[in-house]
Amino acid sequence: MTFGERLHRAMRDRGPLCVGIDPHAALLDAWRLADDVNGLETFARTVVEALAADVAVLKPQAAFFERHGSRGIAVLERVIAEARDAGALVLVDAKRGDIGSTMQAYADAFLRPSSPLCSDAVTASPYLGFGALRPLIDTALEHGNGVFVLARTSNPEGDEVQGARTADGRSVAGAVLDHARAVNAGATTWGSIGCVVGATVTLPAGEDLQIGGPLLAPGVGAQGATVADLAGVFGAALPSVLPNVSRDILRHGPDRTTLVSAARAMNSQVTDLLIGEDAGERGNDHDT
Ligand SMILES: O=C(O)c1cc(=O)[nH]c(=O)n1[C@@H]1O[C@H](COP(=O)(O)O)[C@@H](O)[C@H]1O
């Protein structure tokens, strides 16, 4: 199965929520863990053990593992393997972007099955040119994995670049969405190339979000967007949205029961909005 098909099925079966694993120093402190590699491992393991059998996607943010050096990266390797073993899809948030020949090395690291960091999908920046991502996309498609390409990011600074107009009048973000749509063309259900569009943003009128693939929507919770805001940002593209919530769920730890309850409550809210009230049970079908 392709990544697009696997993600579509996971979101249908488990609800359309992606939970971020972002072990900020402040969260380690709030969980009464040391800001070191042991604290990192306990934090990440707790999230995986609580949620990997429950939610569709877990998104470890690589930076919070890298800040602990090689031992932190080893923790990321174990997190990826354990979360996948428990049935979650793993999207490594690495936001890599470089010239094509270097992108092949990132592809080998994050999307080639022989790599210890291999996951189901990875985030990528297209701001060296979408075409420079080709080796990453080709490697993803070859192995049934996926890529989420930044289009319109959730931070306010993003608009300076992503809202700029190209020579043919499209926004830069719109041009990225167009590229993703072209790669996904012809896929059944969804293609395997998603885009990132923040839940916090105001898009130009007429921006076409239908890319034939998933739309990762960070920004709900700590960055100020609400689940209800997703309707205004995504409109007709709502059924393709995979909302990501990190801090607003993680702050409920370290108690696993509370963490699970917070994730399920959020999953139920996004299920009601994105899939419809009549499918509300889907987000809760792990309650037993
Ligand atoms: O690619 C991402 O996941 C991402 C893109 C974006 O536009 N904005 C954004 O916040 N993110 C990531 O999504 C997560 C958001 O975390 P919270 O704000 O704590 O929910 C962080 O890991 C960010 O790095």
- pTM, two decimal places: 0.96
Per-residue pLDDT tens over the stretch 94-113: 999 999 999 999 999 999 99
Work out the average pLDDT over 159-167. Answer: 97
Task: Looking at the CA of residue 250, tell me the nearest atom of ligand 1.
Answer: 19
pLDDT of residue 284: 40
The gap between the terminal CA atoms of the chain, to the nearest Å, is 28
Length of the chain equals 288
Residue numbers annotated as active site: 95
Site to probe by mutation for ligand 1, drawn from 96, 229, 246, 248 as the one with most ligand atoms within 8 Å of Cβ, is 246
| Mean pLDDT, all residues of the chain | 95
With a cut of 80, say whether residue 281 has pLDDT above it: no
Per-residue pLDDT tens over the stretch 175-214: 999 999 999 999 989 999 999 999 999 999 999 999 999 9
Domains of the chain as residue ranges with CATH: 3-276 (3.20.20.70)
Contact 126, 136 (CB under 8 A): no
The model's confidence at residue 282, banded by pLDDT at 50, 70 and 90, is very low
Per-residue pLDDT tens over the stretch 223-278: 999 999 999 999 999 999 999 999 999 999 999 999 999 999 999 999 999 887 44
Residue 188: CA count within 13 A, CB half-sphere? 5
d(CA 48, CA 51): 5
The ligand 1 site (C-beta within 6 Å) comprises 20, 22, 61, 93, 123, 153-154, 196, 198, 218, 221-223, 244-248
